[in-house]
């Protein structure tokens, strides 16, 4: 939900100046053969991926880009999107310059919806498809939206939902003025996330990898493996120890698996 700070004991994070408001962070790899584009979770921002920037910044064969959605970070003054269709139209247009070379899409939680939809729309438009799609912390789409959608929750219920999911500092949840600033973004993100559904499975023509947290209260394990129905070029599901924010608690294991996927995507280009 807020920009992560670089620990003083670790090397500083070096990024290039963003070329677009949609780029929240980007490593400098002008000769990269592959680009990894990552979408953050509901209520989050590109700062969630600061550890990833640090991880990739010394690699010259891959460029890492963390997407920044409106309503947070440097784009705090912009209204967040509360509907998927206009958001995806803006995402596809905003990220088009980044799809000029082989790329892999990664999405966490709500970001998994955006990564999935971008891959699907690229395919439907017969544009360059991702070399791989990696989705984390999100179950396969339902055929209909849920009857109860969190975007309509009261402020108090949204705070309880954020506490249930974890990943947000309890001190920030208790900070009334701070939460007031971001409440509109939380509500809009929940409307996007909960409104996503697919009446029938759409087959993706790219390798599909789906990660889940073994103790995630938000995503039942069986919904992780239901993504198999959307795969036309191979599916791999994997569980990591941890809750909804297992990308933090199981960071090393997740990065090891991510590198395996990226190395394979690199070889087939």
For residues 223 and 112, give the distance between their C-alpha atoms in angstroms, rounded to a whole number. 13
pLDDT of residue 145: 73
pLDDT of residue 11: 41
pLDDT of residue 18: 53
Assign residue 71 a region (left: φ > 0; alpha: ψ between -120 and 50; beta: otherwise). Answer: left
Given 109, 194, 196, 231, the catalytic residue? 109
Residues 109, 42 contacting (CB under 8 angstroms): yes
Given 82, 189, 194, 216, the catalytic residue? 216
For residues 265 and 262, give the distance between their C-alpha atoms in angstroms, rounded to a whole number. 5
Residue 212, CB-side half-sphere exposure with 13 Å CA sphere: 21
244 an active-site residue? yes
Residue 17's CB is within 10 A of a number of other CB atoms, namely 7
pLDDT of residue 269: 67
**pLDDT averaged over 10-residue windows placed end to end, the chain, 269 residues:** 34 55 95 97 94 96 98 93 96 96 98 98 96 98 78 75 75 78 87 88 94 95 96 96 95 98 90
100 an active-site residue? no
* 19: three-class secondary structure by DSSP: coil
| CA torsion through residues 62, 67, 73, 74, sign | positive
Given 40, 196, 209, 244, the catalytic residue? 244
Both structure tokens of 204: 């993706």
Long-range contacts of the stretch 124-130 (C-beta < 8 A, 24+): 127/99, 128/99, 128/100, 128/102, 128/103, 129/205, 129/206, 130/103, 130/104, 130/105, 130/206
216 an active-site residue? yes
Nearest to 66 by CA among 81, 54, 78, 58: 54
| CA torsion through residues 163, 173, 113, 107, sign | negative
Structural domains of the chain, ranges and CATH numbers in brackets: 23-268 (3.40.50.1820)
pLDDT of residue 122: 97
pLDDT of residue 2: 33
pLDDT of residue 163: 78
pLDDT of residue 240: 98
């Amino acid at each position: 939900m807020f920009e992560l700070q670089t620990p003083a004991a670790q090397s500083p994070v070096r990024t290039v100046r963003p070329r677009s408001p949609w780029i929240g962070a980007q490593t400098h790899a002008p000769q990269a053969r592959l680009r990894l584009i990552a979408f953050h979770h509901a209520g989050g921002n590109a700062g969630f991926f600061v550890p990833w920037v640090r991880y990739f910044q010394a690699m010259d064969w891959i460029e890492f880009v963390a997407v920044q959605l409106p309503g947070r970070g440097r784009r705090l003054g912009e209204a967040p999107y509360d509907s998927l269709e206009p958001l995806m139209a803006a995402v596809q247009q905003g990220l088009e310059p980044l799809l000029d070379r082989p790329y892999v899409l990664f999405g966490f939680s709500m970001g998994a919806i955006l990564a999935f939809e971008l891959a699907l729309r690229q395919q439907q438009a017969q544009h360059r498809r991702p070399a791989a799609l990696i989705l984390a912390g999100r179950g396969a789409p339902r055929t209909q939206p849920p009857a109860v959608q969190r975007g309509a929750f009261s402020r108090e219920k949204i705070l309880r939902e954020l506490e249930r999911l974890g990943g947000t500092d309890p001190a920030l949840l208790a900070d009334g003025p701070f939460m007031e600033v971001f409440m509109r973004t939380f509500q809009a993100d929940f409307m996007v996330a909960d409104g996503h559904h697919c009446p029938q499975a759409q087959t993706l023509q790219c390798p599909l990898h789906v990660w889940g947290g073994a103790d995630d209260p938000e995503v039942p394990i069986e919904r992780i493996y239901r993504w198999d129905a959307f795969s036309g070029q191979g599916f791999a599901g994997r569980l990591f120890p941890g809750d909804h924010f297992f990308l933090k608690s199981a960071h090393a294991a997740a990065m090891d698996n991510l590198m395996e996927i990226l190395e394979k995507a690199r070889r087939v280009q």
